[in-house]
């Protein structure tokens, strides 16, 4: 399993979040403010912010599907967990 040092992870996370926010805004037509708020308050963001979960390794498309499912069901279900 890939392990990333803290500095690299902290540099990569904003890029992943930006790509995910773009997907959320494009596909749901949410405002930027609402997309930010929903993502940052989601279980997905908590998992994404934790390097040990390896959620950062997923594509923006996969992250969007996880986000969308969490918004629909109220719970996050990660593949393989």
The domain tally of the chain equals: 1
pLDDT at residue number 48: 96
Q: Which domain holds residue 27?
A: 14-72
**In angstroms, what is the C-alpha Rg of the chain?**
12
Does residue 20 lie within any of the structural domains? Answer: yes
Does residue 8 lie within any of the structural domains? Answer: no
Does residue 52 lie within any of the structural domains? Answer: yes
N residues, the chain? 81
DSSP 1: -
Q: How far is residue 10's CA from residue 64's CA, in Å, rounded to a whole number? A: 20
State pLDDT tens for residues 3-47: 678 899 899 999 999 999 999 999 999 999 999 999 999 999 999
Does residue 81 lie within any of the structural domains? Answer: no
Measured N-to-C along each axis, helices 32-40 and 60-73 cross at an angle, to the nearest 10 degrees, of 80
pLDDT band of 79, cuts 50, 70, 90? confident
pLDDT at residue number 6: 87
State pLDDT tens for residues 37-76: 999 999 999 999 999 999 999 999 999 999 999 999 999 9
């Amino acid at each position: 399993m890939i392990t990333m040092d803290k500095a690299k992870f902290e540099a990569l996370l904003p890029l992943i979040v930006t790509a995910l926010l773009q997907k959320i805004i494009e596909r749901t037509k949410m405002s930027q403010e609402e997309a930010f708020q929903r993502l940052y308050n989601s279980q997905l963001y908590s998992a994404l912010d934790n390097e040990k979960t390896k959620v950062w390794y997923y594509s923006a498309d996969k992250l969007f599907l996880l986000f969308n499912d969490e918004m629909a069901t109220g719970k996050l279900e990660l593949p393989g967990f």
